[in-house]
Amino acid sequence: MEGIELADNMQPVQSVAIIGAGNMGSGIAQKTAQEEFDVQMVDREAQWVERGQSIIANFLSEAVERRIFSPQQVEDIQGRITGVIGTENTDPDTDLVIEAVFEDFDIKTTVFNALNEVCSEKTILASNTSSLSVNELSAASGRPDRFVGLHFFYHPAKNRLVEVIPGEDTSQETITRTVQYCRGLGKVVILCKDRPGFVVNRFFVPWLNEACLLLQEGIASAAAIDAVAMKAFKIGMGPFALMNLTGPPIALHSTDYLAEQLETPRYVGSENLREMVEAGNQWEIGENTDCSEEAAEIIRVRLLGQVFAVAGQIVDEEICSLEDVDRGAKVGLRWARGPFELANRLGIDEAKAMAEDYSELANFPVPEIWKRDEAFQFSYVDLETKDGIATITINRPEAMNALNETVVNQLGDALDKANSDDSVRTIVLDGAGKAFVAGADVKFFVDKIRADSFPDIYDFTAHGHTVQDKLESSSKTTIALTTGLALGGGLELALACDYRIGTRKTQFRFPETSIGIFPGLGGTQRPARIAGIPAARWAVLAGNFMDSNTAADLGLVTHLVDISDVDSTITSIDNEGKPANKYPAQPAKPDSKVAMFAQSFYSNENLETILSGNCPDGFDMEDRNVSRQMKSLSRVAPIALRMASDLIDVADNTNLVDGLSKELENLEMIFSTSDALEGLSALIEGRKPTYQNL
């Protein structure tokens, strides 16, 4: 799904209209404008449009206070939102119209009738719905081939999950363009079948109702049930606190809907929930979380069993993959682990018994996926081959596609398949969601250091080199689609490819020296061979952030294009083949500001002064560029800084294979320092490291 490509003649969505300026509609409009789409926010009356604009203004004002956006960025975002009064006044040439009105079939149908009258044939109509049948809405839309369901999670400007639900007659072009729009928002996309509850609400809503039933049965207090749930699922809020946050009426409406649609009486809203809603009250939770061990075990087994059983139904019915079920829980609900990861963690036998118990309680068959004795295996790398181009997508967006042992192993397997396929001319490496790859899984390194297991770190890194060599030495043309964030190991992976396509959303950085280590997957070698020694020092030693233009000036991005031109650029590169000189050892634009500054500041003559923590002669600390460099350099680990510098110098007088070997040779030295543990731990703990040069 995340590897979907636009056909050459299929333009991506750029203009979007949101019908409904309430909390959800205004949130979708805000997020869409933040990502530089042209937005119309439409409602029936001026007061509702103004209210929506006020909601957005308040959110953005808070973002300025938190330094997420500058005042100029806020002005630009608001400038991309046009208020429109009346659905009939929506721009006819809008690419995508998202209806975000009340969850009422007749009201939504009225909106679609009006849109059908005004919108051109190319316009895609979408309904933001959490419960209604997409197929029924599609039939009522008047253009079922250009209709799709969307389920944004609240708040849509913050929550990264969106479920995309095609109808039976939705065209592939409509699906592709809609998914690309959602990816453009930086969303984690779950493409799922039209079934009641879709994915997340299918297991989450009955989970809320089950908590109500436990309370109704007198098993424990609301506070105790919340506490047990928080511990069992490793979540920050229990079911009753969550219902108070979103509103008990929503929980009641949703669970009754699922009970009816799925013919599952177990899901009928509990009496205490129904009484709560009728009285207009919220749950009284209190602070007394005490309950007996027996009660706690009943709560734990029931809540876990319900989630395990229903998650199994979702996979059995092929609504989505087990990976996407877990993704929905982690991204949409912010659970630490998804249902199937929880099952593995708990142990399959125990999890299966819980699922069986709940299936009996709810009077439905035990899902087929639970008829197993082995742990669940997860796939995080997708391979799709079409017309001689193999697209390999690292599909772990809930973790920003971070590289762990599983991902690296699966990536290696996918590269072996693509490299051995005689029909493949070009390999495209992509990352699902907003990131290409946001580095390696840092917790792995911390755990291994603390366990005194350096050989595991070495083996993981050495295997990473082996996998990268499947790109470096490939007879195919290799392209990294770095249209998002590429950090550390992710950037190193991209640099092993022949080409790197970037867009305005591309961001690069080597953060390693600031977390006590050096980039050990080729980060001290390939940047120097691509952009020259001074540019490599600028990028690696101070860990400077690189936007798309800076990365292109240095040559780390080889093709900087509009998002609409990405697919035609892949086609062009495929026709062109491998580069004549992959490693020119100089910036793509030597006369650019960044290249000229790197050349002068990070010269051989200045290097020792810089490594000693001093500003080189001839540079003014009042100069913004200079002061920024010195500030960044003051925050890195001194040992890591010097080792990274020495390794970059190696690139000047050795071949790539020997240079990469030097990185591996120095791994134990850097990971055995106290500063490495301090820097990596500080990153996980969200604090500033304190380096002692030890």
- Per-residue tokens: 220: 């424990």
Is residue 3, in this structure, part of any structural domain at all? no
Q: Supply the pLDDT for residue 311.
A: 98
**Which runs of consecutive H residues, i.e. helices, occur in 93-199?**
105-118, 134-141, 172-184
Report the C-alpha gap between 644 and 540 in whole angstroms: 8
Hey, is 535 helix, strand or coil? helix
Q: Among 309, 340, 370, which residue terminates a domain? A: 370
- Based on the fold, state whether residues 355 and 405 are members of the same structural domain: no
560-581 pLDDT tens trace: 999 889 999 999 999 999 999 9
* Together in a domain, 176 and 73: yes
d(CA 325, CA 670): 39
Q: For residue 164, give the nearest of 183, 141, 191, 145 by alpha carbon.
A: 191
Co-location of 287 and 318 in the same domain? yes
Pairing outcome for strands 485-487 and 435-438: parallel
403 and 352, same structural domain?
A: no
Mean pLDDT for the stretch of residues 468-496 = 97
Residue at token pair 């177990």: 266
pLDDT tens-digit map of 648-685: 999 998 999 999 999 999 999 999 999 999 999 999 99
Q: How far apart are CA 578 and CA 581, in angstroms?
A: 9
Q: In which element (H, E) is residue 596 found?
A: helix 593-601
Measured in degrees and rounded to the nearest 5, phi and psi for residue 152 equal: -80, 145
Tens digits of per-residue pLDDT, 58-92?
A: 999 999 999 999 999 999 999 999 999 999 999 99
Q: Please check whether residue 297 lies inside any domain of the structure.
A: yes
**Please, which residues have CB within 8 angstroms of residue 189's CB and are 6 or more apart in sequence?**
1, 2, 162, 163, 164, 179, 182, 183, 432, 433
Asked whether 476 and 427 are in contact (CB, 8 A), the reply is yes
Hey, is 104 helix, strand or coil? Answer: coil
Q: Kindly state the helix (H) or strand (E) to which residue 41 belongs, with its residue range.
A: strand 38-43
475-478: long-range contacts at Cβ-Cβ below 8 A with a sequence spacing of 24 or more? Answer: 475/419, 476/390, 476/418, 476/419, 476/424, 476/425, 476/426, 476/427, 477/425, 477/426, 477/427, 477/573, 477/574, 477/576, 477/577, 477/578, 478/426, 478/427, 478/429
Taking each helix axis as running N to C, give the angle between helix 638-650 and helix 533-540, from 0 to 180 degrees, rounded to the nearest 10: 160
Cβ-based neighbours of 567, under 8 Å, separated by 6 or more: 5, 6, 7, 8
| Residues 426, 431, 433, 435, CA torsion sign | negative
Task: Kindly state the percentage of the chain with pLDDT values over 90.
Answer: 94
Cβ atoms within 10 Å of 218's Cβ, excluding its own: 8
- The CATH number linked to 110 is 3.40.50.720
Distance CA 448, CA 446 (A): 5
**427 plus 556 within the same structural domain:** yes
In this model, does residue 589 exceed pLDDT 50?
Answer: yes
Q: Domain check: are 366 and 418 in the same one?
A: no
In three-state secondary structure terms, 391 is strand
Distance CA 508, CA 500 (A): 12
Q: Tell the residue number behind the tokens 């219902």, with chain if given.
A: 243
Read off the pLDDT band of 11 (50, 70, 90): confident
pLDDT over threshold 60, residue 8: no
> Is the domain of 180 the same as that of 224?
no
Mean of the pLDDT values across residues 377-396? 96
Q: In which band, very low, low, confident or very high, does the pLDDT at 381 lie, cut at 50, 70 and 90?
A: very high
Judge whether residue 1 has pLDDT over 70.
no
Beta partners for residue 392, in sequence order: 383, 429
Above 80 in pLDDT, residue 7? no
Same domain, 525 and 590: yes
Residue 277 inside a domain? The answer is yes
Residue 391: strand pairing partners: 384, 428
Tell me the mean pLDDT in the region 401-425. Answer: 97
Distance CA 324, CA 331 (A): 10
Does the reported pTM lie above 0.75? yes
Residue 364 within any structural domain of the chain: yes
DSSP 266-317: GGSPPHHHHHHHHHT------S-----HHHHHHHHHHHHHHHHHHHHHHHHT
Q: Which residues pair with residue 560 across a beta bridge?
A: 502
Instruction: State the pLDDT confidence band at 433, using cuts at 50, 70 and 90.
Output: confident
> Is there a domain that residue 5 lies in?
no
Final residue of a domain: which of 191, 224, 240? Answer: 191
The structure tokens listed for 417 are 């398949």
Structure tokens at 129: 């719905």
Query: Mean of the pLDDT values across residues 619-645?
Result: 95
Q: Examine the fold and report which residue of 158, 191, 224 is the final residue of a domain before the chain moves on.
A: 191
Q: Tell me: pLDDT of 529 over 90.
A: yes
What pLDDT sits at residue 468?
98
Which pLDDT band, with edges at 50, 70 and 90, does 434 fall under?
A: confident
127 with 156, same domain?
yes
> Which residue from 371, 303, 308 is spatially nearest to 341, judged by alpha carbons?
308
- Which residue in 94, 101, 114 sits closest to 17, CA to CA? 94
Q: Place 12 in a pLDDT band, splitting at 50, 70 and 90.
A: confident
Give yes or no: residues 317 and 429 share one domain: no
Domain co-membership, 247 together with 388: no
Residue 693 covered by a domain:
no
Based on the structure, what is the number of domains in the chain? 3
Contacts of 657 (CB under 8 A, 6+ apart): none
pLDDT of residue 3: 45
Q: Is 599 exposed, middle or buried (0-12, 13-18, 19+ CB in 10 A)?
A: middle
pLDDT of residue 9: 56
Q: Is residue 619 part of a domain?
A: yes
What mean pLDDT value characterizes the chain?
A: 95
Tell me, what's the pLDDT at 179? 94
Strand 124-128 with 147-152, pairing: parallel
Task: Kindly state whether residues 48 and 25 are assigned to the same domain.
Answer: yes
Count other C-beta atoms under 10 Å from residue 611's C-beta: 15
Does any domain span residue 221? yes
Look at residue 277 and tell me whether its pLDDT is greater than 50: yes
pLDDT in tens, 86-137: 999 999 999 999 999 988 899 999 999 999 999 999 999 999 998 899 999 9
Task: Name 576's Cβ contacts closer than 8 Å, sequence gap at least 6.
Answer: 477
Q: What is the CATH number of the domain that holds 509?
A: 3.90.226.10
**CATH number of residue 301's parent domain:** 1.10.1040.50
CA distance readout (Å), 402 to 226, 311, 337, 399, 485: 31, 25, 16, 6, 11
What does the radius of gyration of the chain's CA atoms come to, in whole angstroms?
A: 27
What domain range includes position 418?
A: 381-685
**Do 319 and 180 form a contact (C-beta atoms < 8 A)?**
no
